Chain A
């Protein structure tokens, strides 16, 4: 049962990372245009280097 001392904190931290990542995406307006974002990956613009 000693393994629990690792596993429980690990599971909590992983969950926490997921939550923080989600909150970050919400805060940075990433859900404003789901349809457009889904289409934008099809564009060949900015394939070579990121948009400045």
Chain B
């Protein structure tokens, strides 16, 4: 195409195309977990398109996500309130963490190959059916030649994944499931071509294509399951947009966490997570360390205190000076522990691998024996080769290739609907073997939000004052107090001059009397063992609001169901003995360990494993990561730290814990189905292989055996849904 020529000479001087210095469009991704119907799609797209600066917005209902193209100055922070105003929960997604899911090249590649194999095998099957129903002589030869012309290029394209995988196994001197597959395909093609040139009766072109098609279908199912899990896991990671507020001479500046350096001053607002390890320079607040240590009591923070990446700032803004960033933070150092523990898990051999180990050499030996036997018996190379090829084709692991992926796809789909994400390919098989379940406490069995326990101990007047003070603060204890008081029908008293003193509490005046709600030391009381907020009205004795950790929904049910299923349930926590004992009694857990260090947790699990137990670890914090990686199989809630989610095999997407017991049950049934499928595949082989070895197999029998066993196996897997 020629560049457009200018109409008048004066325009020639102006550049024909705008110079692209800066990106002209910002791509924004927003997660919309609650959308579910056509109405939602329309509303979201309309609201977004109406926002100034937005060029286009498209909702993806499958991923529950909106992709927006807009002017560079539009940010997700502008768009989220728009959607929340329309009644949809919306979260910004980090475009960087998402990029991997958007171009799904591998999946598309497999789908193309599957399509080519499918279309080619349909055409060839059409020709083969004519041959089986009686085409002879020249017609048969022509059909065979046409089949060859379709099959050879189709196989050359679609069977490439098997060729590559078999080659990579052979080049390091190992056998995998793909070696007999490739051998069967190649041998089938070679003997069929040879037969065709000699005007022979039997050609296995259709079998070679059907084999490729069924096996690719298995591969694709397997790939899809993992791709769905991966994209959901990436979305979880993308929900935490890694940004921090850097304080420079020029003022506040929002930057990516990765660009922070040692010595930088970083502002952490209340509710924010520490991006780096550092020391507090200014500000007073309280820190929630539960994700790192399992302690539920917030820790007081003031200048000079050191903080670690991952801690949550609760009440007042803090300025910290970074002492370690990125890989050097304590958060990342924990990853080393995980790496060590994980080497243990790779020892697990999946059912498919152990089947392949038995199967691959067996098939080769059988086929070679029939070749040698027939060559000695008949002295005819052609007959012997034909029979060897027939044996390979009939024994070829069509059904075996589908047996595992069909079941895991069905089981993962079922669990995904219940809010569980299976991240690891063999997680279900390992989950089925579990006999001991270890729970973490804070953030796992408990929701990490406090519940007020002693509302009834206070007079109404005191409660009204407390409510007025509590409503002025966003501290978790204040919010719990507000909720409990409001539920009890209390209305706030008129309190003047309320101020929040970060790190201590809130204070104000009632009729000239000073009232305070906050830390024990601040109101002049002694700190007890239990989580408490203290109320003091000037001149009176301080009174304590006592809190217990709220249970996560479904926690009791999960523990009870697991115990009923005959599993040993343990509670190992980094929290204080009193808190752990109380929770264990409440849930009926008899074995518990308190004040466990991160390494203790992993060691305990190792000890259990050494005794022959298969341990399921459920945990969310940084102090659990080593234990999660050391366990036979592990589950973490979506609220867990990124490091913990990465270390675990299964992620619980919802708040509810009850699907855990269900998952164990589904896993056991899935494993049973996989074994059943292996048995079905074997039965077909037991019937068809003797025919092939005796030289009685025809392409028709091969096609029947292959298709019916593959379909039976897939249907059996579907029973799981």
Contacts and interface: CB of A to CB of B under 8 A. Distances in A.
Contacts of B42: 43, 45
B122 to A, nearest CB: 7
A34 interface: yes
A32 B60 contact: yes
Contacts of B122: 15
Interface string B87-121: 00000000000000000000010011001100100
B33 to A, nearest CB: 14
B62 A26 contact: no
A22 B41 contact: no
B37 interface: yes
Nearest to B59: A36
Contacts of A16: 119
B41 A36 contact: yes
A16 B119 CA distance: 8
B60 A36 contact: yes
Given A15-B122, A18-B119, A36-B62, A8 B146 contact: yes
Interface in B49-70: 59-63
B603 interface: no
A30 B126 CA distance: 29
Contacts of B41: 36, 39-40, 43
Contact of A33 (B37, B61, B126): B61
Nearest to B122: A15
B115 A22 contact: yes
A12 B143 CA distance: 12
A9 to B, nearest CB: 10
A3 B111 CA distance: 35
Given A18-B119, A23-B115, A36-B61, A1 B38 contact: no
A47 interface: no
A35 interface: yes
A40 B35 CA distance: 13
A34 B60 CA distance: 9
B116 A19 contact: yes
A32 B61 CA distance: 10
Contacts of B112: 23, 26
Interface residues of A, number: 23
Contacts of A4: 139
B123 interface: yes
B151 to A, nearest CB: 13
Contacts of A40: 38, 41
A11 B146 CA distance: 12
B63 A33 contact: yes
Contacts of A12: 123, 146, 150
Contact of A15 (B62, B108, B123): B123
A16 B424 CA distance: 38
B103 to A, nearest CB: 10
A1 B63 CA distance: 53
A19 B127 CA distance: 18
A33 B60 contact: yes
Nearest to A38: B61
A34 B122 CA distance: 25
Q: Give the size range of B's interface with the partner.
A: 20 to 34
A21 B116 CA distance: 12
B477 to A, nearest CB: 42
Contacts of A43: 38, 41-42
Interface string B177-189: 0000000000000
Contacts of B38: 39-40, 42-43
B61 to A, nearest CB: 3
A45 B49 CA distance: 14
Given A11-B123, A36-B41, A19 B59 contact: no
Contacts of B123: 11-12, 15
Contacts of B146: 8, 12
Contacts of B116: 19
A47 B111 CA distance: 32
A29 to B, nearest CB: 9
Nearest to B102: A32
B62 to A, nearest CB: 4
Given A15-B123, A39-B37, A26 B61 contact: no
Nearest to B109: A26
A43 B46 CA distance: 12
Given A36-B41, A40-B41, A43-B38, A15 B119 contact: yes
Contact of B115 (A11, A26, A34, A35): A26
A36 B126 CA distance: 36
A15 B127 CA distance: 13
Nearest to A45: B42
A35 B61 contact: yes
A36 to B, nearest CB: 3
Contact of B62 (A8, A11, A32, A42): A32
Contacts of B60: 32-33, 36
Given A8-B146, A12-B123, A39-B37, A33 B115 contact: no
A40 B116 CA distance: 29
Contacts of B150: 12
Contacts of A33: 60-63
Nearest to A12: B123
A19 B529 CA distance: 71
Contacts of A31: 111
Interface of B: 37-38, 41-42, 59-63, 108, 111-112, 115-116, 119, 122-123, 126-127, 139, 146, 150
Interface of A: 1, 4, 8, 11-12, 15-16, 18-19, 22-23, 26, 31-36, 39-40, 42-43, 45
8 contacts: A12-B123, A15-B122, A18-B119, A19-B116, A22-B119, A23-B112, A36-B61, A40-B38
Given A22-B115, A31-B111, 13 more contacts: A11-B123, A12-B146, A12-B150, A15-B122, A16-B119, A23-B112, A26-B108, A32-B60, A33-B60, A33-B62, A39-B38, A40-B41, A43-B41
The 4 closest A-B pairs by CB, nearest first: A36-B61, A39-B38, A19-B119, A33-B60
